[in-house]
């Protein structure tokens, strides 16, 4: 049977103390509810119905790239009321998987297992055993048969001793669900319409109700405050680190690595502490990443080394290249094979040719550097006149002396040399030496400025 999914994401999340809707708070660099949507997409659901309310514009903006049916819950009157907003979209002849939007670590395999259990029952619940179930709905059984879910505030003292709890995730037939939703009432301590009441309705009709459990309680742990957000973030990062290590990546300290996107890796990669990966990053084989580096939407090819405290964003680092320490490669930076940038070098929209190097204290913007060129310390390509950007071309084998300023548009020819301290405003042809310095003048009895 086909199935659709209802994701409950309408809550404000008051305990987050934030203007951002709770389900948009990030885990691993993306909204927590996006993790759930991504997992659901893998299951092959025919439709994903998102029940939303608080911060509706923010939700629609952040999640607009997904194929969702938006179900508005203007007033938050409980989980049953939330699912009622999706009821018009639900077909009688389909199963409906109901998920909560604040448990981002739920695994595809756990949901597949829940769906499989439903094939042999009228209704399947995802439950979890907790050492401390305070605040959670308790699973009431008569023998093996589930008969009800009682919310903590409505539970008797004996019911509060039960360790098996409700996760808020369940699957049932669409026709049954709509009938039970229409019969809900809010006669309880909270004055809300509980989705959990449908369990008792199903039991009274003699429906078979089976349970499934996740492999780990962390999968179904919800997030209600910043402390829980941080805890789930660390659990998520631990999962990512373990998966990478199983692929052959050496993480010098797995607890100090953050993956906030997608990472494609080769073999024999070593990553030091406090490295952050964002967006889509690809790392080839035999690559070393030093401590405190940030890699964003970049490609690092085989046998490259990224030294400590370097930042790469939308950059490509070729084979056998060396970057840093303390280097910054901004969007559009391309390092060809065996090139090098050293400490405190910044590149932007620049191609550094094969074997070329800029070892320290240099800015290269809107520049194309040929092969085997040497860029001396303190060199700046002056690419911006305050309004427009201009390009600098540096030929193969060129040597740029320290503390030089190349005022774009500029062309430095093949094997040309620029003397240290020069401000170059004209083309330097192949094999020429350019020296562009003011004549030194020493002023006697110079009076330094005085502090006023």
Annotated binding site for acetyl-CoA: 377, 383-384, 402, 420, 437
Contact predicate 368/393, CB 8 Å: yes
- CA nearest to 329, candidates 345, 343, 309, 353: 345
Query: Which residues belong to the annotated binding site?
Result: 8-11, 22, 73, 78-79, 102, 137, 151, 166, 224, 330, 348, 363, 374, 377, 383-384, 402, 420, 437
Q: Where are the beta strands (DSSP E) in 94-239?
A: 95-100, 123-129, 138-142, 145-150, 164-173, 209-212
As given in the structure block, the two tokens for residue 87 are 């009821």
- Cis peptide bond N-terminal to 325, omega within 30: yes
- How far is Cα 63 from Cα 33, in angstroms, rounded to an integer? 9
- How far is Cα 255 from Cα 270, in angstroms, rounded to an integer? 15
Residue 137: alpha-carbon gap to chain centroid: 32
- Which DSSP symbol is given to 152? G
Tally of CA atoms within 13 A in the half-sphere of 204 that contains its CB: 7
Query: Which residues belong to the annotated binding site for UDP-N-acetyl-alpha-D-glucosamine?
Result: 8-11, 22, 73, 78-79, 137, 151, 166, 224, 330, 348, 363, 374
- How far is Cα 80 from Cα 410, in angstroms, rounded to an integer? 69
Query: Which residues belong to the annotated binding site for Mg(2+)?
Result: 102, 224
- CA nearest to 390, candidates 413, 369, 407: 407
Contact predicate 272/294, CB 8 Å: no
As given in the structure block, the two tokens for residue 22 are 């709770």
Give the number of other CB atoms < 10 A from CB of residue 208. 13
Active-site residue, from 47, 81, 307, 360: 360
- Which DSSP symbol is given to 266? -
Helices then strands, each counted (H, E), the chain: 7, 35
As given in the structure block, the two tokens for residue 118 are 């439903």
* 227 contact partners, CB below 8 Å, separation of at least 6: none
Active site residue 81: no
Give the number of other CB atoms < 10 A from CB of residue 96. 26
Any idea which residues carry the catalytic annotation? 360
């Amino acid at each position: 049977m086909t199935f659709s999914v209802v994701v409950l994401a309408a809550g404000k999340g008051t305990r987050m103390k934030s203007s951002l809707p709770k389900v948009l708070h990030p885990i691993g660099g993306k909204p927590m509810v996006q993790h759930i949507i991504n997992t659901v997409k893998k299951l092959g659901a025919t439709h994903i119905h998102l029940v939303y309310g608080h911060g509706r514009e923010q939700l629609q903006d952040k999640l607009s790239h997904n194929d969702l049916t938006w179900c508005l819950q203007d007033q938050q009157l409980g989980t049953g009321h939330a699912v009622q907003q999706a009821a018009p979209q639900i077909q009688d002849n389909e199963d409906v998987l109901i998920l909560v939007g604040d448990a981002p670590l739920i695994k595809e395999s756990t949901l597949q297992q829940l769906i499989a259990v439903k094939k042999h029952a009228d209704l399947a619940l995802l439950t979890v055993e907790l050492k401390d179930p305070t605040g959670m709905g308790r699973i009431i059984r008569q023998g093996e048969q589930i008969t009800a879910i009682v919310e903590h505030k409505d539970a008797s003292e004996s019911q509060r001793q039960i360790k098996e709890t409700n996760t808020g995730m369940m699957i049932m037939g669409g026709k049954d669900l709509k009938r039970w939703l229409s019969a809900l009432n809010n006669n309880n301590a909270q004055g809300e319409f509980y989705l959990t009441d449908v369990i008792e309705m199903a039991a009274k009709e003699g429906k078979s109700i089976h349970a499934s459990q996740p492999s780990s309680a962390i999968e179904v742990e919800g997030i209600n405050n910043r402390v829980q957000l941080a805890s789930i973030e660390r659990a998520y990062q631990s999962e990512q680190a373990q998966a990478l290590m199983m692929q052959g990546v050496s993480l010098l300290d797995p607890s100090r690595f953050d993956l906030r996107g997608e990472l494609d890796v080769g073999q024999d990669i070593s990553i030091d502490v406090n490295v952050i990966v964002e967006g889509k990053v690809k790392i080839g084989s035999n690559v070393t990443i030093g401590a405190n580096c940030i890699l964003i939407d970049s490609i690092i090819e085989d046998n490259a080394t990224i030294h400590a405290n370097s930042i790469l964003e939308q950059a490509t680092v070729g084979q056998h290249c060396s970057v840093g320490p303390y280097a910054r490669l901004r969007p559009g930076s391309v390092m060809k094979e065996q090139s090098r940038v050293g400490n405190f070098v910044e590149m932007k929209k620049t191609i550094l040719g094969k074997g070329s190097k800029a070892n320290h204290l240099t800015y290269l913007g809107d520049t194309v550097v040929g092969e085997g060129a040497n860029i001396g310390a303190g060199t700046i390509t002056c690419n911006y006149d305050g309004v427009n950007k201009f390009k600098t071309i540096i030929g193969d084998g060129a040597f740029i002396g320290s503390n030089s300023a190349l005022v774009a548009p500029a062309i430095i020819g093949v094997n040309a040399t620029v003397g240290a301290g020069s401000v170059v405003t004209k083309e330097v042809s192949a094999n020429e030496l350019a020296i562009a310095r003011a004549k030194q003048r020493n002023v006697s009895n110079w009076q330094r400025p005085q502090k006023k």
